[in-house]
Amino acid sequence: ELALSLRDELELGRQVGYLTLGDSMTYSTYGYLINALREIYPQLRHRTYAGITSFAAIAAHFDWPLGEGKERVLLLPCPEGMPALRADILTHDLVVLMKIGRRLPQVLALLEELGISENCVFAQRLGFAEERTSCGLADLPRDTETGYLSTMLIRREAHQPRHQLPTRPLGETLSEPTA
């Protein structure tokens, strides 16, 4: 429906834009939209601009490298089953877990079972007034259903001091002065 509406605007000679949160080419509806537009408006001329992914913003927020040296980094939407996530964590140095949603309680239980919950950072709606961040996961409510805009960086081993940041209270950010 949106593709048809945009096509109509383009056929009238108008310029159109489509804004996304994060990056247009990373788990974004933009990819579906641009493909639909190409099918119904083959003469489409467009330009896609890169955005800042949630995981890059989270890494910067916590001053936490996404990957160093030959570390293996995996980006994935949260799987339905925790056995699949366990396997991914055990075979990668850093897992970027997106689209956690209602599976947060199971993810937290798995990370505690693996003994790595303090090697993780979490953010929901980063950059919004109601953002929620946590370095280490001890302060996250176990019943939270985080919804669409949440991401977690899971480090299998905290082998550098910077990967062992102190736990911060839920909602406290690194950029805010503390009393």
Query: Domain limits at 81?
Result: 54-163
Tell me the pTM: 0.83
Q: Would you say 96 and 76 are in contact if contact means Cβ atoms under 8 Å apart?
A: yes
In the three-class reduction of DSSP (H, G, I as helix; E, B as strand; rest coil), residue 154 is classed as: strand
CATH of the domain at 152: 3.30.950.10
- Residue 49 inside a domain? The answer is no
* One domain, residues 131 and 66: yes
What rounded mean pLDDT belongs to the chain? 88
Instruction: Give residue-wise pLDDT tens across range 4-52.
Output: 999 999 999 999 999 998 999 999 999 999 999 999 999 999 999 999 9
* One domain, residues 86 and 26: no
Provide the number of structural domains found in the chain: 2
Instruction: Give residue-wise pLDDT tens across range 84-112.
Output: 999 999 999 999 999 999 999 999 999 99
Here the tokens at position 8 are 């109509």
Whole-number Å distance between alpha carbons of 96 and 89: 10
